[in-house]
């Protein structure tokens, strides 16, 4: 895709003045540093591990999901043992991450489908369930296979491809990227997250997908937050951010309590001083 003003052509809701993708990438690199893939490990993390880890990361913090995964692996050293355990035992192992009942069921369903389809294979020197056969599959086939599992949507499947298979032909869109993309004007506020992922997967050059995925998440967490975006500190605002340009024309430093789809509000300090929106 050429770097024009309209960043995403796949939707009619894109804002004409939205900054182009390469400019956003460059600005985020200046703010947060270069993001490069780590060197390939001598013993790569098995794909099934990556999938379960990603399922546990849904709708929770990185710290809690990592604790949940670590406790799950401490309790069950092999995935086949999870299938032999009770639902309650699996829930107890991952409870710290939240939504333990639903996630335990999803994990057990995934493992059961893997067992039914492939059985036990040799993985990292021992017998266990495995998804390593996906290494030889095309990305569309991998995406289709993974999204057949309960609890695995387009974002989770794309994360397995991007991080587990180390391929740069997918662009996972989480809640932070979805929010930033909408506020920039790449897509309209009514566009669903999976549609945003499809559009950005086409629009973002493969060479930028790994880095831009991480950079947009960092920006969404630190600056372009859901309820209190820190517009005055945003390196993307000068590039033509729709949210910054149209949020009631209030000074960026005065915008507070703003969530997705909400309009800017004056700060208490500004209201007490008799200030008006302009």
**Which are the catalytic amino acids?**
155
If DSSP codes are grouped into helix, strand and coil, which group holds residue 170?
Answer: coil
Which residues, at least 6 apart from 101, have a Cβ–Cβ distance to it below 8 Å? Answer: 87, 91
If DSSP codes are grouped into helix, strand and coil, which group holds residue 56?
Answer: helix
Distance CA 34, CA 58 (A): 26
Which residues, at least 6 apart from 19, have a Cβ–Cβ distance to it below 8 Å? Answer: 7, 184, 236, 239, 240, 241
In this structure, the number of other CB atoms found within 10 A of the CB of residue 141 comes to: 11
Distance CA 46, CA 123 (A): 8
Distance CA 270, CA 247 (A): 16
Q: Are strands 121-123 and 126-128 parallel, antiparallel or unpaired?
A: antiparallel
Tokens of 195: 């549609």
Estimate the crossing angle of helix 62-75 against helix 47-56, to 10 degrees: 130
Gyration radius of the chain's alpha carbons: 21
Distance CA 54, CA 178 (A): 18
Tokens of 16: 């004409």
């Amino acid at each position: 895709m050429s770097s024009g003003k309209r960043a995403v052509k796949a939707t009619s809701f894109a804002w004409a003045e939205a900054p182009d993708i390469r400019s956003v990438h460059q600005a985020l690199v200046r703010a947060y540093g270069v993001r490069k893939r780590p060197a390939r490990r001598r013993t790569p993390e098995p794909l099934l591990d990556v999938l379960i880890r990603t399922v546990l990361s849904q709708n929770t913090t990185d710290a809690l999901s990592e604790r949940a995964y670590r406790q799950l692996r401490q309790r069950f050293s092999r995935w086949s043992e999870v299938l032999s355990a009770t639902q309650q035992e699996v829930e107890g192992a991952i409870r710290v991450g939240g939504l333990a009942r639903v996630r335990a069921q999803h994990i057990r369903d995934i493992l059961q489908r893997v067992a039914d389809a492939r059985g036990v294979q040799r993985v990292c020197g021992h017998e266990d369930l495995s998804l390593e056969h996906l290494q030889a599959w095309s990305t569309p086939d991998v995406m289709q296979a993974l999204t057949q599992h309960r609890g695995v949507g387009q974002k989770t499947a794309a994360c397995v491809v991007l991080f587990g298979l180390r391929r740069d032909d997918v662009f996972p869109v989480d809640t932070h990227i979805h929010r930033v993309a909408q506020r920039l004007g790449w897509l309209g506020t009514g566009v669903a997250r999976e549609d945003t992922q499809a559009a950005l997967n086409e629009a973002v050059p493969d060479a930028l997908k790994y880095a831009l995925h991480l950079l947009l998440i960092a920006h969404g967490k630190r600056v372009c937050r859901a309820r209190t975006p820190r517009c005055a500190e945003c390196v993307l605002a000068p590039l033509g951010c729709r949210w910054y340009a149209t949020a009631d024309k209030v000074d960026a430093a005065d915008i507070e309590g703003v969530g997705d789809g909400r309009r800017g509000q004056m700060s208490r300090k500004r209201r007490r001083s008799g200030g008006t929106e302009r």
